[in-house]
Each structure stands twice: as C-alpha cells, then as structure tokens.
Amino acid sequence: TAVQAAQLALKKGCQATLCSRRQLVTRNFDIPLEWFDSRTQGRLRHDFWAQPLEERLKHLRATKGGGSVPPRYMEQLQAAEAAGQVEVVCGEAEAGTVDDGGVAVSIRGQARHFDRIVLACGHRPDCL
C-alpha cells in the first residue's frame, strides 16, 4: 500500500518520498507459497486453528515476516526512482513540528520538510 500511495501521489503531480523502516522486500505474497499449495495448506490451516487464540497472532506475524512489494510494483517504483520522480529512503522517521506549512521530520538524522504525510503501514502513529 505504501508503494501504491506513492504512485498515486506521482499521478497527481506530487513529488513523493517513500520512507520505510526496513529495506523493501519483493514477493508476490506476504505469506509463504506453501499456504497456497493444496498438498500442504490443509495441515497448515489445521495447525493454525488448533493454537490458542493468543498464539495465532504471534503465528501470523512470524509467518508473514513483514510486508512486501509485488515485483510489478517494485519495478514501477524503481523506474520512478531512477527518473527522479520519487525518493526511496530507509530509516526511522521521527516527527518534529507540525504547522500550517507542513510537517518537519527527521529521517536517519537528516531534517526534512513535507507538505503531507501518508501512513500506509498499519501502525498506530505516536504523533497524534
């Protein structure tokens, strides 16, 4: 979703910076292919549902291993980055001040200023 948000910003004529806490990972699916394989999916689902409720979330997070970008979107992102249309930055973003002119953010110790920030990570922000 973060890549798609950056792509939408580009379509609207905006300069975009995509910031990720970790390197972007390219995969077709966030979960391993064995979950789609008819030879193994039954056992995997059975084992999952047999776990206590509180263990299922841990299992999901461990299986998913973080978000990913499908190859098609990664190719488009890399082309946009090479064309200077989007900047891809890896590092923790720390919110600074918010004013009528936008938001001051520090990424890897470098001060940045943005008009808008789109959170596309499924994470509750600590700046609201």
Superfamily of 1-26+71-128 according to CATH? FAD/NAD(P)-binding domain (3.50.50.60)
CA distances from 21 to 2, 93, 104, 115 (A): 12, 8, 18, 20
**pLDDT, tens digit, 9 for 90 and up, residues 46-91:** 999 999 998 998 888 887 766 788 899 999 999 999 999 999 999 8
**pLDDT, tens digit, 9 for 90 and up, residues 105-127:** 999 888 999 988 888 776 665 55
Contact 73, 67 (CB under 8 A): no
Contact 89, 108 (CB under 8 A): yes
pLDDT at site 73: 92
Contact 26, 74 (CB under 8 A): yes
CA distances from 52 to 31, 46, 64, 65 (A): 20, 12, 18, 20
Q: What is the pTM of this model?
A: 0.71
Strand 93-99 and strand 110-114: pairing?
unpaired
For the chain, the structural domain boundaries read 1-26+71-128, 31-65
